[in-house]
Amino acid sequence: MISVKDVVAGYSREVDILRGITLSVKQPEIVTILGPNGCGKSTLLKTVAGFLMPREGKVALDDADIGQVPVFRKVRKHDIGFVPQTDNVFGALSVWENLALGGQFMRDHDRKERLDQLYGVYPVLKRKCKARASSLSGGERQLLSLARALMPRPRFLLLDEPSAGLSPKMLSEVFDAIVVLRDTEQVGVLMVEQNAAEALCISDRAYVLSMGKVALEGKASELLASDDMRRLYLGGRTH
């Protein structure tokens, strides 16, 4: 389990962006982080990933404090994969090269086996394995960034807006892929999303952030049905 307890973090000493956040993600589970632009969602993922160190509080993996463990160690130990909000593939490299980079810390045999396995799950990546990543569609690129993070078989995956800029059809393909991950690879997924209703539909639980704090939390199905949630974040939509 990843647990974040009373975490305070920011980019400079003067300003706290996360102002005491507590949350958890189990394995397997999909947990979604919602909230307005600038409230600290990406900052939270970056803090769990290890790009930012918490100023106060604790980030733990099972019983180990990982607040000060840099990101490459977590990837190397196959614990946590991170797909950032932007620039999440190397456009000048081929699909295959991107995936190989994701598995750079793996043994050759293991890397090849995993590559074949992921090609089986995402046939479009196999079909386009020699194409430059920059030539992929937005949805294909999201699948590539997902597959790249999956190469070392992480136990947890942090996804920052995996559906950004996708058509409804592509969005449901990417979300289906995330559900498959939880159900077949037993991955714990912590994802940030703007498409709140769609994200809640595939999530087990969710947290809504506001100005660096958790404003609402609960089971996704309960949040979907909650009046507060509908009024504030789902645009009054009924379902």
Ligand X SMILES: Nc1ncnc2c1ncn2[C@@H]1O[C@H](COP(=O)(O)OP(=O)(O)OP(=O)(O)O)[C@@H](O)[C@H]1O
Q: Does 40 bind ligand X (CB under 6 A)?
A: yes
Residue 68 found at the interface with ligand X (CB under 6 A): no
Q: Say which residues have a Cβ less than 8 Å from residue 180's Cβ, sequence separation at least 6.
A: 121
For ligand X, give the closer residue by CB, 19 or 78: 19
42 binds Mg ion (CB under 5 A): yes
Q: Would you tell me the crossing angle of helices 168-185 and 138-150 to the nearest 10 degrees?
A: 10
**Residue 39 binds: one of Mg ion, ligand X, none (C-beta under 5 to 8 A by kind):** ligand X
Within residues 82-111, the interface with Mg ion by CB under 5 A covers 85
Q: Give SS3 for 195.
A: coil
Nearest residue (CB) to Mg ion, 19 versus 132? 19
At its nearest, how many Å lie between Mg ion and the CB of residue 155? Answer: 23
Q: Is 238 in the site for ligand X (CB under 6 A)?
A: no
d(CA 96, CA 122): 12
Which residue's CB is nearer to ligand X, number 41 or number 205?
A: 41
Contact between 39 and ligand X by CB under 6 A: the answer reads: yes
With H, G, I as helix, E, B as strand and everything else as coil, classify residue 158. strand
What's the CA angle centered on 75, arms 73 and 81, to 5 degrees?
140
Alpha helices in 122-195 (DSSP H): 123-127, 138-150, 168-185
What residues line the site for ligand X (CB under 6 A)? 11, 17, 35, 37-43, 85
What residues line the site for Mg ion (CB under 5 A)? 41-42, 85
